[in-house]
Amino acid sequence: MSFHRFVYLCGWTAVILLTIAGFAAFNADTTTEASVAAQSTPTWGGTAGAVSAQGWLAMAGSRSTAAVVVTEEGSTTLSAAPPSSSTTALLDTGWLDSLAVRGLVETYFGSGDVNRAVRLAWCVSRFDVDAINPSTGAAGLFQVDPVMWEVATGEMGLNSPDPFDPETNVAVAAHIIYQGDGWAAWDCL
């Protein structure tokens, strides 16, 4: 009977250690140079998460979108793109997988803000591109408020953009963060 207790204890110890390592892989952003350098290299926790997400990618479909181009100066334009260059993996449920969200976020956010932006998208929408907040009307992956959406898309020169298009929603969120109210526009961090 003591052997079974030992195996049980070892199993739970492994689960606890893996949980701690997983949380350590997604720790809060810090501003030291060492942490910025460490964020640019993949961690074993991040690699393990990416590998486990491959199963979701195998089940994912694709969806064509328009390309929103953000220049170095921060101005943005919307242009038609060939379907092969602007497809986003969308799960059957309407949610994006974490790798697709990270890919979109890496396109429009600075490298030091990628993890924070992915956490924000998860917090506000759970990566559901069709999410709507019934009390505020905020919509899409980043749950952009309708008033902010109108202001930001007007500044970006977008005509009738779809807040449920994940690429456009990410570009508008980046515009709000870098050209508007910053991270304070969301209270989910």
In a domain, 42, yes or no: no
In a domain, 151, yes or no: yes
Place of tokens 């870098």: 178
* 179, pLDDT greater than 50: yes
* 88, pLDDT greater than 90: no
* 2, pLDDT greater than 60: yes
Nearest C-alpha neighbor of 117 from the set 189, 167, 35: 189
Q: Quick one: pLDDT band at residue 27, thresholds 50, 70, 90?
A: low
pLDDT score recorded for residue 94: 65
Concatenated DSSP letters for 128-146? BTT-B-TTT--BTTTTB-H
DSSP 68: E
Q: Share the mean pLDDT of the chain.
A: 74
- Give me the domain span that covers residue 74: 60-185
In a domain, 33, yes or no: no
pLDDT score recorded for residue 76: 46
Question: Rounded to whole angstroms, how far apart are CA atoms 163 and 141?
Answer: 8
Region of residue 31 (left: phi > 0; alpha: psi -120 to 50; beta: else): alpha
In a domain, 110, yes or no: yes
- Helix, strand or coil, per DSSP, at residue 153: helix
pTM metric for this prediction: 0.55
In a domain, 135, yes or no: yes
Reported as type and span, the H/E element at residue 87 is strand 87-90
**Looking at the 3D structure of the chain, how many domains does it have?**
1
In a domain, 113, yes or no: yes
In a domain, 48, yes or no: no
Q: Is 95 within 8 Å of 129 (Cβ atoms)?
A: yes
In a domain, 46, yes or no: no
Name the residue with higher pLDDT: 5 or 58. 5
